[in-house]
Structure formats: structure tokens, C-alpha cells
Amino acid sequence: MRIPTVLAVLCAPSGGEPFGGLMVEVGLGGSRIESTRALDIGSSISLSVRLPGSPDLSQLPAIVRWRKPGLFGVQFGDLLARDARAIASMMAESLRT
């Protein structure tokens, strides 16, 4: 399950130049990112994002699983417990509203 969100994200592809994007959906398994930059399916990427309720910038490891013009979807790798809790909290809050 993913929930809608709007979070600025810095995308750092393995061996590539970082670029900005917008996280528009998130769940414990992955995220959807809006960006004008296209990445190859299977690319490793690190997402730097400030998750709600977290004072620190999170570094989320991910792999690009699909892409469309202006969008791509990622599957998260191993998340730190604090990042998984922050995402779970966002999801719980979304279900309450």
C-alpha cells in the first residue's frame, strides 16, 4: 500500500549526478517520484528526503522498477528502523484522515 505525499527528494543514482525530484507516493516497499530525469530500470539509487516527524535527512536505498515520462517507481532496499517507522507513521496518519 502506498499513500499520496508531496516531499522534495534528492535522487543520487549510483555513479551518476544527483538531481531533484518530488516524492508523490510512498509506502514501506517503495515510492513514486516525479522528475524530468529518466533512469534505466534496474538502476540503484539513493533518495535523500526529510520524512515527516524525523529531524534528520533520511537516505533511502532503492532500485528503479518502472518508468514513464516524468515519473519513475522505486523499490526500497533495507530501510533503517527509524525510516520505516516514519513511513509507517505517515501511512497510519493518512488512514485516520
CB 28, CB 37: distance < 8 Å: no
Q: Identify the domain containing residue 8 by its residue range.
A: 3-96
Q: Give residue-wise pLDDT tens across range 28-67.
A: 999 999 999 989 999 999 999 999 988 889 999 999 999 9
Closest Cα to residue 50, out of 12, 8, 79, 6? 8
Q: What is the mean pLDDT of residues 79-97?
A: 91
Instruction: Output the pTM of the full model.
Output: 0.93
Residue 49 sits in a domain whose CATH number is: 2.40.10.220
CB 30, CB 62: distance < 8 Å: yes
Q: Give residue-wise pLDDT tens across range 2-18.
A: 999 999 999 999 989 99
CA atoms lying within 13 Å on the CB side of residue 97: 8
Q: Specify the number of domains making up the chain.
A: 1
| Dist. CA 26–CA 68, nearest whole Å | 17
